[in-house]
Amino acid sequence: MRKNIVAGNWKMNTTLQEGVKLAEEVNEALKNTSAKCDVVICTPFTHLASVASVIDANILGLGAENCADHVSGAYTGEVSAAMVASTGARYVILGHSERRQYYGETAETLREKVALALANGLTPIFCIGEVLAERENGTYNEVVKAQIVDGLFQLSAEDFGKIILAYEPVWAIGTGKTATADQAQDMHAHIRNVIADKYGKEIADNTSILYGGSCKASNAPELFSKPDVDGGLIGGASLKCADFMGIVNAF
Ligand code: PGA
């Protein structure tokens, strides 16, 4: 059966020293809890190797927030999937709406990134989600389906089985405005149907689909109680150990 997962997305926050401290705190807190879900933190590239050296990979997973769409070479400023993997990280967030919106990531670049992540043994946490106008004009189901089809349906069934999905309605990210648990459940069930139509029910049932967008300790229990919501991708509330653990303990 699919896993429940709570993953932190630190975004462009914390210095190296602050990040290492936060990772140590989360690692320590997890040692003293019996978490009922997998827990992952996704940190800036600069933090990965140091964080990897202070956490126990058996209780806390580590990921990057992005990787390059090329193998290696003359791409100044880029960080490859192989480089990420060489730090000890095992996950990578791909297609976050902030990357799509501010850095022009397209389905084409995302297909390259997904392929390179998988080739280097990284588990992609692939983000999808509609903007407010699409929620309001009622096209959100088609929009999210297109993001999945265009970004992921080139994969073999075996490779698709390695993907974690994160549904993050853009209007809920960092806004304090969460999708209701019913809105999240409806979308997650839709996403699972889209996957089942392509890869079959077994793979769809085994795919973890996380919710992201102003998820916090107070609303996580209701969101996570929904049958198709398998955890969360957490931005703001992953930056303080107690807040993040409050969400982990929602399971
Ligand atoms: P948020 O961000 O929890 O701060 O809304 C979630 C995300 O963008 O992954």
Decide if 96 is catalytic. yes
Q: What is the mean pLDDT of the chain?
A: 97
Q: How far is the centre of ligand 1, averaged over its atoms, from the C-alpha of 30 (Å)?
A: 21
Q: How many percent of the chain have pLDDT more than 90?
A: 97
Q: How far is the centre of ligand 1, averaged over its atoms, from the C-alpha of 220 (Å)?
A: 13
Spell out a b/e string for 229-239, using b for 16 or more CB atoms within 10 Å of the CB, else e. bbbbbbbbbbb
Please write the tens of the pLDDT for every residue from 184-229.
999 999 999 999 999 999 999 999 999 999 999 999 999 999 999 9
Average the pLDDT over 231-237 and give the result. Answer: 98
Beta strands per DSSP E along 43-194: 61-64, 91-94, 123-128, 164-167
Residues at CB less than 6 angstroms from ligand 1 = 9, 168, 173-174, 212-215, 233-237
- Look at residue 129 in the predicted model and tell me its pLDDT: 98
What tokens were used for 160? Answer: 């698709």
Question: CA 250 → CA 4, 169, 217, 230, 231, distances in Å?
Answer: 11, 21, 7, 12, 9
Q: Which amino acid is at 152?
A: L
Judged against a pLDDT cut of 90, whether residue 176 lies above it is answered with: no
Spell out a b/e string for 69-107, using b for 16 or more CB atoms within 10 Å of the CB, else e. beeeeeeeeebbbbbbbebebbbbbbbbbbbbeeeebeb
Q: How many percent of the chain have pLDDT more than 70?
A: 100
Q: How far is the centre of ligand 1, averaged over its atoms, from the C-alpha of 176 (Å)?
A: 9
Decide if 142 is catalytic. no
Please write the tens of the pLDDT for every residue from 83-119.
999 999 999 999 999 999 999 999 999 999 999 999 9
Beta strands per DSSP E along the chain: 5-9, 38-42, 61-64, 91-94, 123-128, 164-167, 209-212, 231-234
User: Which residues make beta-bridge pairs with 165?
Assistant: 126, 209
Minimal-distance CA residue to ligand 1 atom 6 = 235
Beta strands per DSSP E along 185-224: 209-212
Identified catalytic residue from 98, 105, 134, 168: 168
Judged against a pLDDT cut of 90, whether residue 174 lies above it is answered with: no
The pTM assigned to this predicted structure is 0.98
Identified catalytic residue from 47, 96, 98, 188: 96
